[in-house]
């Protein structure tokens, strides 16, 4: 199962006990009126909070209305989506990690940015206190060059060749060091898929700190890898 996640930074000072209480008390309800005039209550809430030292985990639960056509009639039904999140401290910085898609694909509506903005408002009133993070191009470049044999795929963006937005190296092309240098001369590394060999995990990382676990694994293994290996890469 593919597990996508995204890393954010909390720019405010936090007290883990206090934010646990704030999140525990969060419950938001709105009334949705269907096209046929019926009403449904939609709920946002935070479940399964667990605080261990400087690591707070929980589940953000959100209700949405999903519409589809059946025999030329619009059918609207409520669905609940959940996203697991962690708040942790690393080298005097506080981070939020959300396990959810970052880009809308298929029918999923609960995205990482939505969760980050909502938690920021719950904890700090404003959506500006939890912000995106970056992993520098130079760091991804060093990650690949330190062990090229572990790399499975590289995407480049910010291409200076007219008419080309992205370039990709995969498979046997990754062994072509001249082609790699040519691409590097015309763009920056946006996304790297590689094998974290000491853990036996295949990961994808983007410059805006979206992490995708491709190996058969668990959310706990993903969060441990992010805490122990990836937070140190963030600018």
Kindly state the average pLDDT of the residues 34-39: 85
**Res 108 pLDDT > 70:** no
- What's the Cα-to-Cα distance from 152 to each of 48, 104, 173, rounded to whole Å? 36, 25, 10
| Mean pLDDT for all residues in the chain | 91
Q: In the predicted model, is pLDDT for residue 148 greater than 60?
A: yes
Contact in structure between 178 and 169 (CB atoms under 8 Å): no
Strands 3-10 and 130-132: antiparallel
Lowest-confidence pick of 35-39, 129-133, 181-185, 205-209? 35-39
Place 38 in a pLDDT band, splitting at 50, 70 and 90. confident
> For 159-208, how does the pLDDT look when each residue is reduced to its tens digit (9 = 90+)?
999 999 999 999 877 877 899 999 999 999 999 999 987 788 899 999 99
> Which among 194, 16, 146 is positioned nearest to 88, based on CA atoms?
16
Confidence of residue 106 (pLDDT cuts 50, 70, 90): low
Q: Band of the pLDDT at 107, cuts 50, 70, 90?
A: low
Check residue 125 and give left, alpha or beta (phi > 0: left; psi -120 to 50: alpha).
Answer: left
Q: What is the pLDDT of residue 203?
A: 92
List, for residues 44-60, the tens digit of each pLDDT value: 999 999 999 889 999 99
Name the pTM for this structure: 0.91
Average pLDDT score over residue span 52-75: 91
Specify the pLDDT at position 37: 84
Confidence check: pLDDT of 83 > 90: yes
Q: What is the pLDDT of residue 177?
A: 84
Q: CA triplet 119, 123, 128: central angle to 5 degrees?
A: 70
pLDDT in tens, 87-105: 999 999 999 999 988 876 6
- Residue 73, pLDDT > 90, answer no
Q: Are 111 and 103 in contact (CB under 8 A)?
A: yes
Beta-sheet pairing, 55-70 with 73-90: antiparallel
């Amino acid at each position: 199962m593919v597990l996508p996640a995204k890393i954010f930074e909390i720019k405010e000072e936090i007290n883990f006990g206090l934010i646990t209480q704030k999140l525990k008390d969060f419950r938001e309800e709105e009334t949705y009126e269907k096209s046929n005039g019926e009403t449904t209550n939609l709920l946002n809430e935070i479940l399964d909070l667990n605080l261990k030292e400087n690591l707070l985990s929980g589940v953000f639960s959100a209700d949405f209305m999903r519409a589809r056509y059946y025999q030329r009639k619009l059918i609207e039904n409520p669905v609940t989506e959940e996203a697991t999140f962690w708040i942790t401290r690393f080298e005097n910085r506080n981070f939020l990690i959300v396990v959810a898609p970052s880009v809308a694909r298929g029918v999923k509506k609960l995205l990482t940015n939505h969760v980050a903005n909502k938690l920021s408002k719950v904890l700090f009133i404003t959506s500006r206190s939890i912000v995106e993070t970056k992993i520098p191009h130079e760091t991804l470049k060093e990650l690949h060059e330190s062990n090229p044999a572990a790399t499975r795929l590289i995407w480049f963006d910010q291409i200076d060749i007219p008419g080309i937005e992205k370039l990709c190296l995969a498979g046997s092309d990754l062994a072509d060091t001249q082609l790699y240098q040519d691409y590097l001369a015309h763009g920056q590394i946006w996304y790297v898929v590689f094998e974290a060999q000491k853990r036996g995990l295949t990961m994808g990382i983007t410059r805006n700190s979206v992490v995708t676990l491709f190996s058969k694994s668990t959310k706990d293994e993903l969060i441990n890898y992010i805490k122990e290996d990836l937070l140190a890469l963030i600018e």
